[in-house]
Amino acid sequence: MTIDDQVSQAREAIESGRTALGIELGSTRIKAVLVGPDNAPIATGSFDWENQFVNRVWTYSLDAVWEGMRACFAGLAADVRSRYDIALESPGAIGVSAMMHGYLAFDADGELLVPFRTWRNTITGQAAEELSELFGHNIPQRWSIAHLRQAILNGEDHVGSIAHITTLAGYVHWKLTGEKLLGVGDASGMFPIDIATGSYNTTMLGQFDSLVADHGFGWKLGDILPAVLPAGQAAGRLTAAGAALLDPTGTLQAGIPLCPPEGDAGTGMVATNSVARRTGNVSAGTSIFAMIVLEGELSRRHAELDLVTTPAGDLVAMVHCNNGASELNAWAGLFGEFATALGAGATQSAVFETLFGAALAAEPDAGGLLSYNYLSGEHITHLAEGRPLFVRTPESTFSLANFMRAHLFASLATLRIGMNVLLQDEGVQLDSMFAHGGLFKTKGVAQRFLAAAIDAPVSVGEIAGEGGAWGIAVLAAFLKDGEPGQSLGDFLAGEVFAAAPLETIAPDPSDVAGFEAYMARYTAGLAIEKAAVETI
């Protein structure tokens, strides 16, 4: 097929509404992807943004949410106009995804009661521990229920005025459609899900209500949580007010159906075809996390593992680490500045490719160097705050190659600690592991080191390069194109990934041994990181 034919087909699909639009609000970028009838991307838009650390709380303002959403959609519309010389008026379906967890609490008038508390905060330790014991189910600090309970323990005045709480994806979906609901995957990061019913665990809802009964709040927990829907279910339509929020030009039409809003973990599973049992994926950006679809319940509760669900409602073990590639990005920025100062300015992608490529020539264990990428706290290693560190001894081999390998290893080290619990302690079996996210954009580097870290083959697919925004676009397409009774897994296997190419890297024994040596230093050196938090 010629390029002209491809353009003609895409234009016809846009004009006839045979497309699906996905928008994902990530930690550092809001991205939109428009897919055609074959689920391949045909246009994109994006907007860069950053969280703010205000009064020792990681947050984004709601004004920033809508500034970013509008700019992202405008970029997408401009891309459609540039490529196909038509306006984007009415995609066939829309999906919204965002960072999971966190706390957005609203009163009866729809007013935000306290600034958005994101997944990145580690300020709910008391509540998380208490609820984990009460439920017999691990409740991580970033879960919405932990934030709510901690607010109660702190005696915060706003709690009595709550009419509903939600996640970032749920908030945006509500404003676009008027519907207060979530996809089951995102909902599973608010409160535990009963896999048998596909909704919140009613026993635990009752336990929570009993726990807070003496406060006399005018609500029950089940009344203030969003409704829960699985993938493929209709989740409302774009209202005129919602269309104006997204596109102030008035070009975007109301009435477009939306799929259930999902979290970035769920869209990552979709984007890597990892919704079937014994499959898994690793997503690496500002945070890094692994999702493994389980065959059954775990033997016991583990503080390192969250139990969430796929967008279809199947049980998933999640190893979530707050700190991923941010420290790597900071070092790359520094090297880029140096190159510019030398008069040899390079593009950001060239800087990353050069630095990541250097790591391939390093000593297997990074020459004795050690790095901690902790910009924020990390629950797996029991740190409430973070301090990025780089450490070496006089005997270490201090080279660019070793320096970069040490930082790449550091981005995977905390994940490895959590994965040990899942793969070694629980004996969970994996048939395939997929990787996606910014860390894997430079081909063959972080993918190779992840294979070494988990001692298993790791695959990267070209189509997953668009990440979670593409994943939520596919979920919107599943709403639009899925057959009655068709499972999400069958839709992905048969309609989306049937001919998708994969690049798989098997673990190199030398890399595996080197990562083991690095991990021995890393775990022993955690005392240095803890001391830094206490003293700096």
Domain ranges of the chain: 101-163+191-224, 272-324+418-505
Q: What is the DSSP letter of 492?
A: I
Distance CA 481, CA 19 (A): 10
CA distances from 315 to 222, 296, 312 (A): 21, 8, 9
CA separation for the pair 256, 325 (Å, rounded): 36
Residues 373 and 212: their CA atoms lie apart, in Å, by 38
| Radius of gyration from C-alpha coordinates of the chain | 23
The DSSP result for 309-364, as a single string, is E-TT--EEEEEEES-SSHHHHHHHHHHHHHHHHTT----HHHHHHHHHHHHTTS-T
Q: pLDDT in tens for each of the 536 residues of the chain?
A: 788 889 999 999 999 999 999 999 999 999 999 999 999 999 999 999 999 999 989 999 999 999 999 999 999 999 999 999 999 999 999 999 999 999 999 999 999 999 999 998 989 999 999 999 999 999 999 999 999 999 999 999 999 999 999 999 999 999 999 999 999 999 999 999 999 999 999 999 999 999 999 999 999 999 999 999 999 999 999 999 999 999 999 999 999 999 999 999 899 899 889 999 998 999 888 889 899 999 988 999 998 898 999 999 999 998 989 999 999 999 999 999 999 999 987 898 999 999 999 999 999 999 999 999 999 999 899 998 999 999 999 999 999 999 999 999 999 999 999 999 998 999 998 888 999 888 998 989 999 999 999 999 999 877 655 778 999 999 999 999 999 999 999 999 999 988 788 899 999 999 999 999 999 999 999 999 999 999 99
What the block records as the tokens of 349 is 């992608």
227-229 and 181-183 as β-strands: parallel, antiparallel, unpaired? parallel
Q: Give me the phi and psi of 521, to 5 degrees please.
A: -65, -40
Give dist(CA 413, CA 422) in Å, integer.
15
Give the model's pLDDT for residue 120.
87
Q: Where are the alpha helices (DSSP H) in 136-237?
A: 144-153, 168-177, 184-187, 202-211, 221-224
What superfamily in CATH does domain 272-324+418-505 come from?
Answer: ATPase, nucleotide binding domain (3.30.420.40)
Two tokens, residue 211: 């726990």
Q: For residues 74 and 67, give the distance between their C-alpha atoms in angstroms, rounded to a whole number.
A: 11
CATH 3.30.420.40 at 101-163+191-224, yes or no: yes
Task: Specify whether the CB–CB gap between 149 and 210 falls below 8 A.
Answer: no
Q: Within a 10 A sphere around the Cβ of 112, how many other Cβ atoms?
A: 14
Residue with tokens 């995102």: 186
User: Hey, how many other C-beta atoms are within 10 angstroms of the C-beta on 427?
Assistant: 8
What is the rounded CA–CA span in Å between residue 477 and residue 39?
7
Query: Is 272-324+418-505 in the same CATH topology as 101-163+191-224?
Result: yes
CA 510 to chain centre: 31
